[in-house]
Amino acid sequence: METIQVVLDKKLLMATDRAARRMKANRSSLVRDALREHLLRLEVRAQEDRDREGYRKWPQSGAESNPWEAEAAWPEG
């Protein structure tokens, strides 16, 4: 691991410390976990944007999805 310096405003620092105490974690651990989660969300969003753009450029025809319609239906009962 490497040590870095991050500047936080006082309110954010206080909220971070409160959250770390609630989670019984230290500040660094909380910030690492939060950053990992944020980076994962950014990657998921980027993948969704790529998928959305692909479907916009090459729309799916109805014939392509028809065989799967029965699989997606909820069973009766």
Which residue's structure tokens are 């909820």? 74
Q: What is the pLDDT of residue 60?
A: 77
Q: Give the span between the Cα atoms of 66 and 77, in whole angstroms.
A: 23
Q: How many CB atoms lie within 10 A of CB 28?
A: 13
pLDDT, one tens digit for every residue, the chain (77 residues): 999 999 999 999 999 999 999 999 999 999 999 999 999 999 999 999 999 999 899 887 777 777 777 777 777 76
Longest dimension (CA), the chain: 59
Q: What is the pLDDT of residue 8?
A: 97
Which of 31, 11, 12 lies closest to 20 in space, CA to CA?
A: 31
Radius of gyration of the chain (CA): 22
Q: What is the pLDDT of residue 5?
A: 95
Q: What is the pLDDT of residue 75?
A: 73
Which of 12, 51, 56 lies closest to 34 in space, CA to CA?
A: 12
